[in-house]
Structure 1
Amino acid sequence: MSLDQQVPTSPAPPRDPAGDRVDAYYGRLFGWPVKWRGVHPFLALENGICAVTLPKLSAGPVLTRLAATGCQGPAMHLPTQHGARVALLAETDGLIPPRSALPRNVEVLAWGTLLPLPVGARRVEVATEWLAAPDPHQRWLPSLGAVLAGIPERL
């Protein structure tokens, strides 16, 4: 079951100013495709955006390594049925490697996967939060190759 299927859907209520701010921030400022499920915004992984996920317990050294090389981009905490994970947003830079070429606990999500977006600092209903928030002054995403290079083979 994907993350977008874990949030119950309900009829879409009238849009409020908070929803407009989310669209303006994520959609217009960063150019990210935002999809709505009821009152919940999601980042649609499409148009060259992907996410590398790994266990949260292993993410600290990876985030430090990416920051040291100037390749850290937005990273969010994601609760899943298999434990807490971290999603590192990246730009696809060619072919996405097959699962067999990735370290054991690493996955690459792309092509229409929906990631729940934090609203403000935290999204309470699914406990999604930014570990490294997107920076309006640095709107680019690191390449998928750079992010994968920052992850040790034995994670």
Structure 2
Amino acid sequence: MSLDQQVQPAPSGDPVDTYYGRLFGWPVRWRGGQPFLALEHGMCAVTLPKLSAAPVLTRLAATGCQGPSMVLPTQHGARVALLAETDGLIPPRDALPRDVDVLAWGTLLPLPVGTRRREVATEWLTAPDPHRRWLPSLGAILAAIPARL
């Protein structure tokens, strides 16, 4: 693994580190020039196909449980990652709807930054709000997803 592929802590004083790391308390790691959110310390993400996300986001907003969500490009099409706080054990894969995954334990999600970069086209659907820094619980997000997604 070359030096630019290794995961490194955020450069001191970097605006991305200041915003995500210091303001929200999120662990930011760097791979080359791209910042990543490290899913650790009780933080996870629920991912589902982008085409299925709108009703889930609407349900979460209606119940006051909408938190930050981002679009992630994948080899199988765009997915939406809904950030959450783990509130106990993460359910096994076979207990989740077919197209839903829960990411945790050190998974790295590319963070959207200022201008979109061609190689990593992540973007916020629901940007993190400095006035509402909490994350919804994993249970609340999973409850908003229909069993047949």
Structure 1 position 123, deviation (Å): 4.2
Structure 1 position 124, deviation (Å): 3.6
Aligned to 1:35: 29
Gaps of 5+ in 1: 1-7
- % same residue: 81
Q: Deviations over 1:65-108 (max 9, x none)?
A: 10000000000000001111000000000000000100110000
- After superposition, the Cα gap between the structure-2 partners of 1:123 and 1:66, relative to the gap in structure 1 and judged at 3 Å, is farther
Aligned to 1:5: none
Aligned to 1:93: 87
Contact 1:49–1:90 at 8 Å: present in 2 too?
A: yes
Runs of 4+ off more than 4 Å: none
Aligned to 2:16: 22
The one-letter code sitting in structure 1 at the alignment partner of 2:57 is L
2:5 to 9, 20, 23: 9
1:64 to 50, 58, 62: 58
Return the TM-score normalized by structure 2.
0.91
Aligned to 2:120: 126
Return the TM-score normalized by structure 1.
0.87
Contact 1:123–1:129 at 8 Å: present in 2 too?
A: no
The one-letter code sitting in structure 2 at the alignment partner of 1:143 is S
- Give me the CA root mean square deviation: 1.9
1:146 to 114, 135, 140: 140
Structure 1 position 21, deviation (Å): 0.4
